[in-house]
Structure 1
């Protein structure tokens, strides 16, 4: 639970909690279904490996994301203005300062990752430093620090466990089916059931993860806007970054595709099925939320 001064968003938190509950139920259902379909032998193995892979993803998330974005950690002497902004925001939010990184990419973007606030890193690209003005960059950094304060990497890693387990089960069932079908014709139906169950769980968990990711982005927009009290600056930044991404050839976006879900604006364009597969909410939805916050902050009090 975050202890920073970022505003709490009970509506989005409730939806995120519900999504996490459904993903957890899927994970349990997958293991139970596996026991009935192909016997109890597979269940502990799949569960242990899935949890182990999720733990590794969480533990090494900062290193993996930094490598994917070709980023390096920078000291205050190398980027004094960037460090100064993050220092001010962390003091305002009453949270520990994360490490700071810069990715030498022309694509304008930023991301935050790390297994805990004490091990987090906030990274910006050289492209975003050249694209945004100081207020817009500060708004983007507040958005990213909100992800850190609310331990979003941990939330998304735990949420991915059901999908990881389902993918592993499909592999186990395929290999197990090939071996067992040669000696036992009755094994094939059980393997097919396991494949079907795992496929359904994987598909549902995939969609739920996308929903959770979109909630996470809206929550970070809201928290960052209230921290800086400048929602219009974040709206302007999102429009500029989205415009840069839209103008970038698809082949040049592939270098950032591995960390696309972490970025403030996805490097990969489109989502398919009306945005159902998208990791980020539509730009218009984000701008409308920020406009409502701006109207609320502009309303006279008393």
Structure 2
């Protein structure tokens, strides 16, 4: 399904390049396992089942994990009204609408395609944002749906799942196995674990780089759809500032879901996480929105 969201050739190129590199890495990884004499069929089957479950049940899994509940137009008329307007403006099917009871101000979209999509906002976000700011956030999330970002990131994560499983298998069952040359070399299990860790690290960095760019792409597409980049910028600043007032415990509980969220929930003392961020820095996002404002000749 096509929509009126602005096309993003840069996002398309990065998706293709990332998928190609991950596919190449997958071939090399499987080849290395075969060369080492490892029977990886069971691991591949388990990883495949996990991928399919994540792909087809992504909307239900995300809503359950983050405590979201679908709401009717009677329960949340203003929220439904905004999504109705944006869906019509973007010429795309209206997604299901959900609300999560959380004081962490955030939003996310999930679902493998437009017909299975759901957009969820937290009660903390609804309390803090003005209608025009909330509209900017919702446009950002709808652009994720239009670009099928959830499906792309799910597929991109497959190699990381395989490598992670192989690391666990090697750690728990293979470290005491036979040696690579039968003459005192490294144990096969240790070699497999090291290769798996390396593959996981590379695939992790590739998917995180793609994740950061897709957030910029969603900001850009959402701002162009609403023609109000300043509203999205205002929401970003307000949400980032409000994060400081959220209890650290709540932020830590939200951190595992940062890849889904509109803005990352980072507890104090997590500076190392910036090296592996799912989102670009706030300054970079605001800089892009300022450039769009200048291009449109408005705020």
TM-score normalized by the length of structure 1: 0.91
CA RMSD of aligned residues (A): 2.1
**The one of 118, 137, 147 aligned to 1:150:** 147
Q: Secondary structure at the match of 1:102?
A: strand
- Segments of structure 1 that go 5 or more residues without pairing to the other structure are none
Contact preservation (8 Å) 1:169, 1:194: yes
- Segments of structure 2 that go 5 or more residues without pairing to the other structure are none
Alignment of 1:243 onto 2:241: yes
CA distance in 2, matches of 1:274, 1:295: 32
Structure 2 equivalent of residue 192 of structure 1: 190
- What are the equivalent positions in structure 2 for 1:15-54 lying under 5 Å apart? 15-39=14-38, 41-42=39-40, 44-54=41-51
TM-score normalized by the length of structure 2: 0.92
Alignment of 1:118 onto 2:115: yes
Alignment of 1:286 onto 2:272: no
- What are the equivalent positions in structure 2 for 1:156-195 lying under 5 Å apart? 156-178=153-175, 180-181=177-178, 189-195=187-193
| Alpha-carbon offset, residue 100 of structure 1 | 0.2
Structure 1 equivalent of residue 259 of structure 2: 261
User: What are the Cα deviations for residues 35-54 of structure 1, in whole angstroms up to 9, with x where unaligned?
Assistant: 00124x22x32222222211
CA distance in 1, matches of 2:138, 2:289: 16
CA distance in 1, matches of 2:188, 2:214: 38
Change (3 A) 1:274 1:81: closer
Change (3 A) 1:147 1:271: farther
Q: Secondary structure at the match of 2:99?
A: strand
Contact preservation (8 Å) 1:31, 1:47: no
| Alpha-carbon offset, residue 267 of structure 1 | 1.4
Contact preservation (8 Å) 1:83, 1:100: yes
Alignment of 1:74 onto 2:66: no
| Alpha-carbon offset, residue 24 of structure 1 | 1.7
Contact preservation (8 Å) 1:159, 1:209: yes
Using CA pairs under 8 Å that are at least 6 residues apart, name the structure with larger relative contact order, 1 or 2. 1
Structure 2 equivalent of residue 216 of structure 1: 214
| Alpha-carbon offset, residue 245 of structure 1 | 1.2
CA distance in 2, matches of 1:106, 1:193: 46
CA distance in 2, matches of 1:275, 1:244: 19
Contact preservation (8 Å) 1:170, 1:198: yes
User: What are the Cα deviations for residues 211-266 of structure 1, in whole angstroms up to 9, with x where unaligned?
Assistant: 11101100100000000000010000000011111222211213323322111001
Q: Secondary structure at the match of 2:197?
A: helix
CA distance in 1, matches of 2:231, 2:110: 23
| Alpha-carbon offset, residue 289 of structure 1 | 0.4
Alignment of 1:103 onto 2:100: yes
